Amino acid sequence: MIPNHDNGHEIRSGNVVCTKTGEKFEIINGALYLISSDDINNFQKKDQIEVNNFNRRIDEQKKNGTIPKEFLASEEAYLKETEARTDFLFSSLIYQGTANRFVLEIGAGDTKITQKFSELGFNCFALDFAEYRICQDSDEYFKNKGKYFERVIALMNKLPFQDHFFDIVISHASLHHATPTMMENFEWFNPDNMLDTLSEIKRVLKPKESGGIFIATGEGVYPDDILPENRKLEHTAMTGGPYEAHYTMSEYISLFKKVGLFPTFFSNAIDGNLTLNGYLQDGRKIDLIKAQNYISKDALHFFSNVCEKNSKPDDVQELFPNWISLRNYEDLENVHLNFPFLIDFSKVYSDIMFSGFSGIEPQGRWTEGEKANIIFLKKFPESFKVQIDAYAFGPNIGKRIPVSVGSITKELILSDKIKTYYLSFNGVIPTHELVITVPNPVSPQELHRSNDNRKIGVFLHKMIISR
């Protein structure tokens, strides 16, 4: 691959000749078209034409004002979900030596993710098999003084790059479009359709020990017990739409193991909140961000705190190469909570992070496990009062339940019904965190009350912090 520049100016058209085969490849609107007629099969060619025509039609409808409102609403929702599952890459991680590092985005589409990596100083390549969207949107970005990156039209199951070239390869909602190089190996509902693409990603990515990371984000995940007749995306593709297939998490994991390439990050979003798993070289999964943490793009200042609460420090250290680290949110040393500060545990907040809690219920949240942490963006002052509306479950009823802020610990004794309790704290060294320690977390299943296997202890309805 050669840079698409001539003394700093983009080469918009012309041809590149392969020195090995003598084959010519066209430059289309600044993007190098590297799909040989021998490489693309009829199945892929049909999808390429459909995707290009669809995107042209959408742009034309937007231009003349005939775009359906329903489409605009779904497009906006998709963009928000994309931000929810990828923004951590740009706001919560610190990258060293970006000027000498290379990023490849496969299935780049509108190139927004490539643009963000480029703005961090990386040398970036955006790759897609359909040229219209990747050229159109990147051109608009460059016209607005965006930082330049290369665009390549190529198949992701036959990447036109040398071995171990990239420091980062990222696939956003692209893997599940992958098909085999040889279409006789294609089979509906078979995750091996992604095998050639994952093998190519492994080939062009630097090894883990050399700092290379693979990021898979926005991949559709079916429940493990799904039946073939309920795989709706595949059935839509069978009737003539572009090929798309989701897989179960077990199928993804099995294929990652088969290829010998696990994603450093595998992220998704549920209702605008990030879920993020990391995978070590041996395939061991690390839960970095759980759905019940409710980390939206507006709450990413808690990213490092949540990762550290959900996982072991040694695992996090092993997961990240030495040139990537977690960004700690700015410590607001002299900024304390505004009083009164109300927490409704049935709601999500961008300035509060919860760890050790189960999901939100209509009236609040259960603690889950031995420690429940409430971390505030602003600090507690030296003296304050806490009003708590709560009740206990099972063996925790009537027991002493420690509530700690810094080195100061108070105790609650809760009944089995919601009541209001008051605690006073004095002499607190300013801190961000309130911790509830549950003496006997237990599941309703263990007590033969229901099939609920969460180890719960205290149900919190509301909390008011005041002077």
- Distance between CA 60 and CA 403 in Å, rounded? 60
What pLDDT shows up at residue 332?
Answer: 47
Q: What is the pLDDT of residues 159-173, one digit of tens each?
A: 999 999 999 999 999
* Contacts for 395 with CB less than 8 Å, ≥ 6 apart: 439, 440, 442
User: Given this chain, do its domains 35-326 and 341-466 carry the same CATH topology?
Assistant: no
First-to-final CA distance of the chain: 65
Above 60 in pLDDT, residue 238?
yes
> Sorting pLDDT into bands at 50, 70 and 90, what band is 378?
confident
- Distance between CA 457 and CA 442 in Å, rounded? 7
Residues 137-160 have a mean pLDDT of 90
- Distance between CA 212 and CA 264 in Å, rounded? 9
Above 70 in pLDDT, residue 331?
no
Above 60 in pLDDT, residue 7?
no
Cβ proximity of 206 and 164 under 8 Å: yes
What pLDDT shows up at residue 200?
Answer: 98
Class of domain 341-466: mainly beta
Residues 216-233 have a mean pLDDT of 91
What pLDDT shows up at residue 329?
Answer: 64
What pLDDT shows up at residue 6?
Answer: 42
Q: What is the pLDDT of residues 67-117, one digit of tens each?
A: 999 999 998 888 888 999 999 999 899 999 999 999 999 999 999 999 999
Above 90 in pLDDT, residue 436?
yes
Q: Where are the domains of the chain?
A: 35-326, 341-466
Q: Does domain 35-326 sit in CATH 3.30.70.141?
A: no
Residues 233-245 have a mean pLDDT of 87
In terms of pLDDT, which residue wins out, 104 or 353?
104
What pLDDT shows up at residue 348?
Answer: 85
Query: What DSSP string describes 253-317?
Result: HHHHHHHT---SEEEEEETTEEEEEEE-TT--EEEEE-GGG---GGGGGGHHHHHHHHS-HHHHH
Q: Among 12-21, 108-117, 152-161, which stretch is predicted with the lowest mean pLDDT?
A: 12-21
> Sorting pLDDT into bands at 50, 70 and 90, what band is 8?
low
What pLDDT shows up at residue 9?
Answer: 65
Above 80 in pLDDT, residue 2?
no
What pLDDT shows up at residue 1?
Answer: 40
